[in-house]
């Protein structure tokens, strides 16, 4: 059974990524989320592209410093995965917004508040670790070790490294600051 899931892993990865904008749009059009969150999804996609482009281009082309290696070959061109993963990033950021709405007090994203940024930081670290663990457990991709990307620990015989943890930490703070600016323009 586990082998079937491993074979379906890339398909599920792409399916969720490419369905994310339709799900967020549906939630917006049915009034379950506000226009602000719809805009935040796309902002999250753009923020995600800031690391997805370098990672996928450096790893998908013949370069001297690939950042990831695919344990099993990708089922389509790496740029398709790059787009899907950017859509995933937007979805993960929106889940962070939902967590802020559930954990913190109103008003949301009006000014810098440590409680809100802490929710984003914790969610960013947890979600990134879950993504990386899911990939290594399903023999998807693995981050390569470099002096600037040391290994935190091993899972399923593969590296879990610092690079994406650091990126998601910085991105969570940067995204949060962008939300405050966007919220002031949406009002």
Residues in the chain: 187
Q: Comparing C-alpha atoms, which of 41, 10, 45 is closest to residue 25?
A: 41
3-state class (DSSP) for residue 110: coil
pTM of the model: 0.94
For residue 187, the model assigns a pLDDT of 59
For residue 1, the model assigns a pLDDT of 54
pLDDT beneath 70, residues of the chain: 1-3, 5, 186-187
For residue 20, the model assigns a pLDDT of 98
Burial letters for 124-159: b for 16+ Cβ neighbours within 10 Å, e otherwise? Answer: bbebbbebbeebbebbbbbbbeeeebeeeeeeeebb
């Amino acid at each position: 059974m586990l082998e079937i899931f491993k074979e379906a892993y890339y398909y599920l990865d792409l399916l969720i990524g490419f369905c994310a904008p339709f799900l967020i749009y549906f939630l917006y059009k049915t009034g379950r989320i506000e226009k602000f969150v719809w805009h935040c999804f796309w902002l999250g996609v753009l923020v995600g592209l800031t690391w997805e482009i370098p990672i996928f281009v450096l790893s998908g082309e013949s370069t001297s410093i690939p950042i990831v290696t695919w344990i099993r070959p990708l089922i389509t061109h790496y740029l398709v995965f790059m787009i899907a993963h950017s859509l995933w990033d937007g979805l993960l950021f929106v889940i962070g917004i939902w967590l802020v709405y559930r954990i913190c007090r109103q008003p949301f994203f009006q000014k810098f508040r440590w409680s809100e940024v802490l929710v984003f930081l914790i969610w960013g670290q947890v979600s990134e670790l879950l993504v990386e663990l899911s990939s290594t457990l399903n023999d998807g991709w693995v981050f390569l070790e470099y002096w600037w990307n040391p290994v935190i620990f091993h899972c399923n015989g593969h590296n879990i490294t610092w690079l994406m943890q650091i990126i998601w930490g910085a991105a969570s703070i940067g995204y949060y600051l962008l939300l405050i600016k966007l919220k002031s323009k949406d009002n």
